[in-house]
Amino acid sequence: MVNRVILIGRLVRDPEMRAVGAGHTMARFALAVDRGVAIVQGEREVDFIDIVTWRKLAEQVAEHLHRGRLVGVEGRLQTRRFENSQGKRRKVTEVVADRVRFLDRKPRNLAGDGQITEEVVAAGVPE
């Protein structure tokens, strides 16, 4: 059996990082992923997919990613159930990412000569 997900999309909002459990860090963000199907006058259908990262990858994602950045995500699909603060049972489906590739160039601070430098960052499990 195989549970592998590969997505390319843009961040809907900045990642939210927090500490959980025994000092582990996690970061959550959502990707807007184009379905590739035009609906009306060139507009496309989009899915908004929740992504979770852990430990060092979570720290890198929280530090380098911001709303609108284009990323590739590899991971596994996970469904979990929990009870919310109102006592209602909820079901959540999300991608637990083990690799995140930053696919666009991020403008960096102005260099000493007044030129804008660019940075390409990649994070994830080494190949």
Report pLDDT digits (tens) over 39-55: 777 677 889 999 999 99
Report pLDDT digits (tens) over 64-95: 899 999 999 999 999 999 888 898 999 999 99
SS3 88: coil
- The CA dihedral of 105, 111, 113, 115, to the nearest 10 degrees, is 20
pTM tops 0.85, yes or no: no
Q: Tell me what pLDDT residue 112 has.
A: 47
What per-residue string of b and e applies to 72-91 under the rule 16 or more CB within 10 Å gives b? Answer: bbbbeeeeeeeeeeeeeeee
SS3 116: strand
| Those residues with Cβ within 8 angstroms of residue 72's Cβ, 6 or more apart along the chain or in another chain | 6, 7, 8, 99, 100, 101, 103
Domains within the chain, CATH numbers bracketed: 5-124 (2.40.50.140)
Q: Tell me what pLDDT residue 113 has.
A: 47
Q: Tell me what pLDDT residue 121 has.
A: 44
Q: Tell me what pLDDT residue 95 has.
A: 96
